[in-house]
DNA sequence: GCGTAACCCTACGCACGAGTAGGTATGCTC
DNA sequence: GAGCATACCTACTCGTGCGTAGGGTTACGC
């Protein structure tokens, strides 16, 4: 009379994803330290030792979250912005993909952006990912410049790229807190600021997405 | 034979500032949770119960740090950007004051920006301060628009302001990690991005600070 | 020169949460 | 259907760090 167990046994790969889902959710709500392994385990519908068996210590679990969400995001962006398009087109597609991702994975974004920044052991990890993004944007700008036969100091380029990435992240943060907001529209607004600048906007010049 | 005490007794106001200095330092290095009251007390050259007597619990202490650093920053900006100047001039002065502040108070900035964002109880507090900044920038843009007899949706204005603030914060973060960088120069770069936009920069248009 | 208030300490209680020990059940293979 | 690997659990240990009890010492008013 094997009373049907409340919940089934599941293969490791599935349980790991459930655990990561739960971890991302709890980490994003509570922050790394305030999140407890007990809560994560409970939220995943499993007991704590299983989490340790599969994903390791709390730090390792957090890093696993970071990697999964980071990789997902990078893939979303890279898949959208083909390298042989003109700069504005690439920027636009990258932005749209990025805001789309954040809109669909608000928790994941919160873990990456809000939590990992402050905590010592992970800040570096995150900074690396961010640096890759900055590099891409800087490369894009540089490419566009060379096409016009012009040039600019590498440091300036990097700083400009940094500012663009920062502005984008900031709007993404805004988006994460405004569930009713439209990612597409937010991307358009970002494009206006980044591409045209405040002065142009004040003079009535606006950028509109290409009708694709 | 009262052996001269190792360190003098000091009035409350002085000790409180020393404690806040230590707290900002430790919080910025370790993060809220990882920072221990013992370390803060030791760093302030005082014993733990004194910290509790003067500044209250750990949370209250953190809020006190937030308030002090936030107020200092707001004053630095407000003091620089007179409300009756043209928009670009105001923006420039505000940016310069802001980057100057961050350059001089890197720890304080780290507490505000990197730590307070993620931790639940403080995120709101910080968001309020940030909202005030966004409001100021949005108001500035709106003012400039009306002067030209034009208008724009309030939401769009706010989002643009948000992006500008975000880009600025992001560069400030970059500045905090690059001790050799010049705040003034960073402000100029930010001005270029925000005011002219990427497209203009790519076409060789640049903005230069007024020779005051 | 004595009371009293402010300053300051050592040493602890106690809760919370990371990580583990040790064992049970289930399904898959041959 | 015996053997074995894998999934899963309850129930602990133990360190860490917040917050405090209880008491000592210096300065200042009167």
**Tens digit of each residue's pLDDT (9 = 90 or more) over B132-151:** 888 888 888 888 778 777 77
Environment class of residue B69 by beta-carbon count within 10 Å: exposed (0-12), middle (13-18) or buried (19+)? buried
B11 touches strand C (CB under 7 A): yes
Q: What is the mean pLDDT of residues B113-122?
A: 83
Q: Considering CB atoms only, which of A29, A117, A198 is closest to B194?
A: A198
The whole-angstrom separation of Cα B2 and Cα B6 is 11
- The per-residue pLDDT for B204 is 65
Nearest 5 degrees, angle CA B12-CA B17-CA B20?
A: 125
Indicate the pLDDT class of residue B206, thresholds 50, 70 and 90.
confident
Q: Which two tokens stand for residue A131?
A: 């640096």
Which bases of strand C have any atom within 7 Å of the beta carbon of a protein residue? Answer: 6-11, 16-22, 25-27
pLDDT at position A177 is 80
Question: How many inter-chain contacts (A to B, CB under 8 Å) are there?
Answer: 160
Q: Please give the structure tokens belonging to residue A205.
A: 């010049």
Which chain B residue lies closest to A137 (C-alpha atoms)?
Answer: B198
Query: Which residues in B lie closer than 8 A to residue A111 (C-beta atoms)?
Result: none
The upper half-sphere exposure of residue A13, i.e. CA atoms within 13 Å in the direction of its Cβ, equals 0
Asked if residues A172 and A113 have their Cβ atoms less than 8 Å apart, the reply is yes
Q: Which domains does chain B have, with CATH numbers?
A: 11-56 (1.10.10.60), 67-202 (1.10.357.10)
List the alpha helices (DSSP H) in chain A.
12-30, 37-43, 48-55, 58-80, 87-104, 106-110, 120-147, 154-177, 183-191, 197-202
Q: What is the pLDDT of residues B72-114, one digit of tens each?
A: 999 998 888 888 888 888 888 988 999 999 999 988 888 878 8
Six token digits for residue A137: 């944007």
Most confident of A126-130, B47-51, B202-206: B47-51
Residues in chain A with CB shorter than 8 Å from the CB of B88 are: 199
Q: Is the CB of A48 under 7 A from strand C?
A: yes
CA angle B124, B127, B131 (to 5 degrees): 140
Cβ contacts of A169 on chain B, cutoff 8 Å: 166, 170
Residues whose CB falls within 8 Å of the CB of residue A182, separated by 6 or more in sequence, listed in order = none
Residue B45, pLDDT > 80, answer yes
Nucleotide nearest to B10 (CA to C1'): C7
The pLDDT of residue A3: 38
Select from B29, B156, B166 the Cβ nearest to the Cβ of A166.
B166
Chain segment A158-205, per-residue pLDDT in tens? 888 888 899 999 899 888 888 898 999 888 888 888 888 777 766 666
Q: Express each pLDDT in A12-49 by its tens digit.
A: 999 999 999 999 999 999 999 999 999 999 999 999 99
Least Cα separation, residue A201 to chain B (angstroms) = 9
Dist CA A52 CA A109 (whole Å):
24
Mean pLDDT computed over B187-197: 84
CB contacts of A170 in chain B (<8 Å) are 162-163, 165-167, 169-170
Would you give the distance in Å from CA A209 to the centre of its chain?
22
Higher pLDDT: A139 or A24? It is A24
d(CA A41, CA A160): 43
CA angle B22, B28, B31 (to 5 degrees): 110
DSSP secondary structure string, B146-174?
A: HHTT----HHHHHHHHHHHHHHHHHHHHH
Q: Given pLDDT bands bounded at 50, 70 and 90, which one contains residue A55? A: very high
Mean pLDDT, rounded, of chain A: 86
Q: What is the token pair recorded at B112?
A: 């505000």
In contact, B175 and B102? CB cutoff 8 Å: yes
């Amino acid at each position: 009379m094997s009373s049907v167990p409340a919940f089934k046994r599941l293969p490791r790969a599935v349980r790991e994803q459930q655990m990561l889902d739960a971890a991302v959710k709890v980490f994003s709500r509570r922050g790394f330290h305030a999140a407890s392994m007990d809560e994560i385990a409970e939220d995943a519908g499993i007991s704590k030792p299983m989490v340790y068996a599969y994903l390791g210590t709390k730090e390792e679990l957090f890093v696993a979250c970071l990697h999964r969400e980071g990789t997902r995001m990078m893939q979303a962006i890279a898949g959208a912005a083909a390298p042989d398009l003109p700069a504005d087109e690439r920027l636009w597609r990258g932005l749209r993909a990025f805001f789309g991702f954040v809109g669909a994975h608000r928790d994941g974004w919160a873990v990456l952006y809000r939590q990992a920044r402050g905590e010592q052991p992970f800040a570096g990890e995150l900074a690396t990912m961010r640096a890759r993004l900055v590099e891409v944007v800087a490369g894009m700008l540089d490419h566009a410049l060379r096409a016009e036969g012009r040039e600019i100091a590498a440091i300036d380029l990097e700083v400009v790229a940094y500012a663009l990435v920062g502005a984008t992240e900031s709007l993404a943060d805004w988006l994460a807190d405004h569930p009713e907001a439209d990612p597409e529209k937010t991307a358009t607004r970002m494009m206006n600021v980044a591409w045209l600048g405040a002065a142009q906007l004040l003079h009535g010049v606006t950028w509109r997405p290409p009708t694709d």
